[in-house]
A and B are shown apart, each in its own frame.
Chain A
Amino acid sequence: MGYASLEPHLPSSHALLPPGTYLSISDTQASDGNFLLHHFISNYIKADHNVVLVGLAGILVHYTMVGRKLGVNLTTAKTKGTFYFVDGLTQLTDYAAPNKDFLIKPTEAKQSGEQRPTTSPSQSATTPSSSTSRPTQRTATPVATAPTALPVVLSYSPKLLDFYKVLEDLIKNTVSKNNVKEKQLCLILDDLSVLLNCGWPCRDVMGLVRYLKLLVAKFNGSLITLVHADAVLAEEVPQDGLVKGVFYEADYIIDVRDLDSGGSRDVHGQLSMLHGPRYLLRQRAGHVKENDWPALTLHYKILDNNVEVFAKGYSSGVL
């Protein structure tokens, strides 16, 4: 069940985020915030809710392997339809699509082969519709070797809106498929910084975040994103704008960074649980329970298959 010691500090009802909220995680290079994502993934999967994971920096194997360590089988969840993975690593940019035809076209799925090398925006506009129609085709074809859910094929387009549309269709599809009302949805974007790095302007990325936030709120879900917020990068205007932007949009903020005093073997870094502006708005409106999310700073240590979170100075190496 995720990390037991982190659980009490989260605003969770049964280890989940309140629906309709947005949690923004920021990390630095020396202290990777990825472990928090795994926490939420495993929590949602364990509670049998829907998870849509957009892996812009990692591949599915990575999440599956870590999930296994945390006691969650993402493969079965994928088969069951509660877990969706969008591969943003191999198919995100125009670089991913070769402009030469040396690739052996897969014989089974001609459609997907045709979809992949699209670079023109006109063609990519058709992608969402085709990707939504994919699952029906897949179930119709008896050749479907992989029992996996629909592989969402991203294709490059200069507009991030198309990326949003793909996600929107996917989420709508997910919710409609297992239309149990009490099921929650969790959309996780691993590493928004990749989008920025790959050339999309900060404004577009912020637009995407805002759209996705509204989208998941409609489906009783919550959004979790990760950005890199190194101090070195603060000099860059777009990067700084992104970090500040996601913080502005957020209900909850978890800031992961290494210790100010340097590295230590027993303390890998510190987590700052912060209130986002939206939280304060909701608080003012009286939607928030008392002590829902106490803002505090904790230390953590990453272990093989767990993360210890403890108050400052309560490291096992100290006590």
Chain B
Amino acid sequence: MSSFKKRVPSAQTSLPAGCRLSAYNGQVLISTGIPSLDDILGGGLPLGTILLVQEDRQTSYGQLLLKYFLRQGVVAGDKCVVVSGDERPEAIMRSLMGIAGEESSSSQVQQGVDSRDDNEAKGDNRRVKKSGASAEDEDDEDSEQGRLKIAWRYSGLKKFESGVDGRSLPVISSRVNKEPSSSDGSVPTPNQIPFCEQFDLTTRISARALETADTTLIDSGDLLRHISVNNQEIAGSDLDDSENENEDDNPSAAEIVSNQPDLYRNVLDKIRETVVNGGFSTTLVKDPLAPLPAPGAVNLSGRHVCRIGINSIASPSWRSKTPQDLYKFLHALRGLLRFSFGAAVITIPAHLYGTVDQRHATDGSTTSPYIHRLEQLCDASVRIESFAGALTNASSAASDYHGLFHVHKVPVLNALVSSSTKLSVLLNGSAKGSGGQSGGSGRSGGSSKGVNNLGFKVRRKRFTIETFHLPPEGGVGQRRTSAEPSSSAGSLSDRKTGSSATSSSTPSSFSRRDVGASSGSLRKPLGGSNVNSNNSGSSSSSSNNNNNNTINARGKVDIHSVPGASGMARKMMGLPPVGIQGAVTSSCSTEGPDSSGHQHVHGHGHGHGSLSGKVTTSNSSLLDF
């Protein structure tokens, strides 16, 4: 026949289900189940890569990311390999979330946007608005918190977007249109499987979905027990009786090492076995000398993807033979995955390896060397810092967020620059309204610079990562009644401070006033200088807390430390960006006419009884430096 052939429409059809090609470098991507995380990674997690998730302390958002990843795999019909030591992998699989609108799909379709959660509603509202249906909008906006309605004429304007709407990307097959068809109960064809499904955290995965899911569960705890039993048998048969060894008080170090089960290696072998036997490998099954098939060139529609989720690796229940075990594990896993249709998400309780120094724990620009070296061996690395477990008082600053989201590394594959530099909305910040030169820090991942601070929030149907921004001063409903720390122009509040100091003439509080004014003027040039020594930072922030509490009761505006939001705060204050050193402690307090209250506050705040202005002045200035 002639060599002319009609070109098959696109590679899209030949991709495995739930995959798409990167718009930048043609990499095959799979979804992490979270649209905004996909965005950060440059459209999705590339096949053959490892994403390291550094867990938060005291909360389990890290595991939630893992669950999204696995759940998306179940939707797409991928192979899911779950490795867990602390929790039974079956329990993790069983506790996966359900698909949003699965059980009440018919009513969902009829009601439209109403039953969606608020965040989703924003996205949909914009569309509905264009089509003219505004009644539902009103209902939604009333119920919606944190949405400021200034005047009707502004409602037509585009909303300031700090996050990523999963649907806004044209590449993602929009599920809204397909929802009626797929919810009819018809089995979705691979093309219909959305790149990223929407999940509902209030529901559990249906039993049917769990049955059909192709999973391999590896309980590293069981495995460890299994190995150690085997090892003991071997040791007993080969060397001596195991009892004999136990009696021996101090066996040689080498003996201990040789008897230690090599858990990581066994886990890796299990994973390798799954990958190879499941046909996910691109090299090992076939002739190893054949040239590598370029992804997309071959017909991949029959293939599935192997998703490897490892929960809390290197937690205390994982025992390693040598300190290098985990490094070698990751290195070999990466080598394995690069030649297979698979990707891995690994969560690690990084805080267990953190240094004692509190700064390391709170500001996130630095991690412990151990974790840092792990990051070198992974392709992407993110860190979750939830406010619940944070030692800072950022939670009071931004109540809509559940925590901060740090991106340490993004995958750079087959290209000089990472695709997220090109495509990511969240990482670049250029696509959306936030200013060009944000106070990026050393923690910005890959080569994508000018990074915004990111925060995440968990809604019922969406885990969103957004550009971290502070709420409007005082919030919407509680304006003027609560004193939520928010950042406004520091110079403005300083001016207020000065003016209130001069206007009030209560003699008893004169010295205090003096202090206020002088410290205010002192602070003015330093409004956002976030260079604080650790000690003074913590002490002043604690004093700020006290300030905050008392002032709250009196209904005054108070601007205080906003840790983690320093870049943002600086930007809002109109100051040039400075590399983030740590938690900002830019404290400016606005004093009202109530002098006694103020006096009390300062006295309390700085730990002085009431008195000498000079001393307190120097003190406060010290704190500010």
Contacts and interface: CB of A to CB of B under 8 A. Distances in A.
Contact of A35 (B289, B327, B416, B451): B416
A94 B288 CA distance: 20
Contact of A264 (B367, B449, B578): B449
A198 interface: yes
Interface in B274-314: 276-277, 284-285, 287-292
B90 to A, nearest CB: 24
B415 A61 contact: no
Interface string B588-614: 000000000000000000000000000
A235 B288 contact: no
B177 to A, nearest CB: 34
Interface in B323-361: 324, 327-329, 331-332, 334-336, 338-339
Contacts of A34: 412, 416
A262 B579 contact: yes
A265 B332 CA distance: 34
Contacts of B221: none
B366 interface: yes
Contacts of B331: 89, 92-93, 95, 194, 197-198
Given A93-B331, A265-B430, A144 B442 contact: no
Given A95-B328, A265-B449, A302-B416, A232 B372 contact: yes
B450 A265 contact: yes
Interface stretch (A4-12, A103-111, A174-182): A103-111
Interface in A124-177: 144-146, 148, 151
Interface string A11-38: 0000000000000000001111011001
Interface residues of A, number: 65
A268 interface: yes
A305 B416 CA distance: 7
B264 interface: yes
A228 B376 contact: yes
B445 interface: yes
B402 to A, nearest CB: 25
A103 B372 CA distance: 33
Interface string B92-136: 000000000000000000000000000000000000000000000
B414 interface: yes
Nearest to A263: B440
Interface stretch (B265-273, B477-485, B546-554): B265-273
A104 B272 CA distance: 12
B447 interface: yes
B442 A30 contact: yes
B457 to A, nearest CB: 24
Interface in B412-440: 412-417, 428, 430, 436-437, 439-440
Per DSSP, are chain A's interface residues mostly helix, strand or loop, or mixed?
Answer: loop
Contacts of A220: none
B147 interface: no
A316 to B, nearest CB: 14
A183 B449 CA distance: 40
B284 A32 contact: no
A297 interface: no
A65 interface: yes
Contacts of B444: 30, 258, 263
A268 B421 CA distance: 11
A66 interface: yes
B159 interface: no
B369 A232 contact: yes
B371 to A, nearest CB: 9
Contacts of B327: 197-199
Nearest to B577: A262
Interface string B1-32: 00000000000000000000000010000000
**For the side of the interface on B, what is the size category?**
35 or more
A30 B445 contact: yes
Given A30-B443, A265-B450, A66 B416 contact: yes
Per DSSP, are chain B's interface residues mostly helix, strand or loop, or mixed?
Answer: loop
Interface string A97-115: 0111011101111001000
A91 interface: yes
Given A62-B414, A199-B322, A103 B284 contact: yes
A214 interface: no
A265 B450 CA distance: 5
A226 B28 CA distance: 28
A43 interface: no
B377 interface: yes
Contact of B289 (A96, A98, A144): A144
B611 to A, nearest CB: 42
A69 interface: yes
A47 interface: no
A144 to B, nearest CB: 7
Contact of A102 (B273, B324, B445, B580): B273
B404 to A, nearest CB: 17
B369 A239 contact: yes
B168 to A, nearest CB: 22
A230 interface: yes
B338 A90 contact: yes
Interface string B447-489: 1011100000000000000000000000000000000000000
A94 B325 CA distance: 10
| Most A C-beta atoms less than 10 A away, residue of B285, B289, B290 | B289
B385 interface: no
A59 interface: yes
Given A194-B331, A263-B444, A304-B416, 6 more contacts: A32-B412, A60-B292, A61-B414, A199-B327, A264-B440, A264-B449
Interface of B: 25, 264-265, 268-269, 272-273, 276-277, 284-285, 287-292, 322, 324, 327-329, 331-332, 334-336, 338-339, 366-369, 372-373, 375-377, 408-409, 412-417, 428, 430, 436-437, 439-447, 449-451, 577-580
27 contacts: A29-B376, A31-B447, A34-B412, A60-B292, A65-B414, A65-B415, A89-B331, A89-B334, A91-B335, A94-B328, A95-B331, A96-B335, A98-B272, A98-B273, A99-B269, A108-B287, A145-B289, A148-B291, A197-B331, A199-B328, A235-B369, A236-B369, A262-B439, A263-B442, A264-B449, A269-B447, A304-B416
The 4 closest A-B pairs by CB, nearest first: A263-B440, A263-B449, A90-B335, A199-B324
